[in-house]
Amino acid sequence: MSQATEPNKLYQQVASRVAESIRTGEYPKGRRLPSERDLAEKFGVSRPTVREAMIALEIQGFVQARHGSGVYVTDATPKVEGGADLDIGPFELTEARRVVEGEVCALAAISITAEEVAELEAILRDLAEETKAPASSTDAGQGPGERADRRFHVLIAQSTRNSALVSLVETLWDLRYRSQLCREMLARARKAGDRPRLDEHNRIIQALAARDPQAARAAMRDHMTRVIDGLLAATESEAVRQARLETAARRDAYLRRGAI
């Protein structure tokens, strides 16, 4: 699947082709879809891309994830035709943030003031307190912890003394709230217990306080990489988790039998 020949995002391409297969009857109503791994191999994309596509199709009403079983074609008429309104996906967005905010953090290390470092430390204390509260299913990704996290990253951008970079970082954060797909996946991640990583934020502060651009860039990029890893883990399909539990149970059973 070539991104250059298609104007849509990769996950939209996959979602569109699976939706077409549903319409043509290749995947009949009530049928379980192939696994993420199989779909990734079929379309030549990553598993995160397939995961975004499956959630996009679920939002549109084409499929339904069943706990402990997999993703099935629904009997209902899809609520939405096409996926343009879903906009950007969280993996693509976080990858963009990794590139942009890594360089922003390196530049901030040169010009950040002691007062701004102290303010980042205060925000981190707020973040630590606010992430103790249970995530609400109604905050749409904009609860207290999320707002504190946004303040942290925007302040780093402001420390560069470059208004264009500030605007760019704010735009990337705002995309999290405008995209239905982003909101849905972030909500699932919060429900699964994914929270802002305080130790990673602290390493960013330490690099900035040391006025070390290389360390600041590396700390921010590492943070964004771990955000992607955490999102993958938190949104992993229930079928995969259930399969792992069943495999562990079978292994334990064989071990018990072998001990007789």
CATH number of the domain at 139, please: 1.20.120.530
Of 86, 113, 148, the domain-final residue: 86
Report the domain count for the chain: 2
Determine, yes or no, domain membership for 56: yes
Token digits for 229? 């890893």
Token digits for 33? 């879809």
Of 69, 86, 103, the domain-final residue: 86
Distance, CA of 149 to CA of 221 (rounded, Å):
16
Determine, yes or no, domain membership for 58: yes
* Residue 84: per-residue pLDDT: 45
Query: Where in the sequence is the domain holding 22, given as residue range(s)?
Result: 10-86
CATH number of the domain at 35, please: 1.10.10.10
- pTM of the prediction? 0.65
* 164 and 100 co-located in one domain: yes
* 28 and 132 co-located in one domain: no
Determine, yes or no, domain membership for 72: yes
* Residue 259: per-residue pLDDT: 58
Determine, yes or no, domain membership for 204: yes
Determine, yes or no, domain membership for 242: no
* 67 and 142 co-located in one domain: no
* Residue 152: per-residue pLDDT: 96
Token digits for 83? 């996926």
* 135 and 189 co-located in one domain: yes
* 132 and 169 co-located in one domain: yes
* Residue 12: per-residue pLDDT: 85
* 81 and 103 co-located in one domain: no
Q: Which of 98, 74, 60, 65 is nearest to 181 (CA)?
A: 60
Determine, yes or no, domain membership for 80: yes
Token digits for 91? 């993996």
Determine, yes or no, domain membership for 1: no
* Residue 133: per-residue pLDDT: 61
Determine, yes or no, domain membership for 259: no
Q: Which of 98, 94, 90, 83 is nearest to 49 (CA)?
A: 90
pLDDT tens for the 260 residues of the chain, in order: 544 444 467 888 899 999 999 988 899 988 999 988 899 999 999 888 888 888 888 888 898 887 667 889 988 666 554 444 456 788 888 889 999 999 999 999 999 999 999 999 999 998 888 766 655 544 445 566 788 899 999 999 999 999 999 999 999 998 887 777 787 777 777 766 666 689 999 999 999 999 999 999 999 999 999 888 877 776 665 445 544 555 556 556 655 655 55
Of 55, 86, 117, the domain-final residue: 86
* Residue 1: per-residue pLDDT: 52
* Residue 137: per-residue pLDDT: 45
In eight-state DSSP terms, residue 67 is T
> 215 in helix, strand or coil?
helix
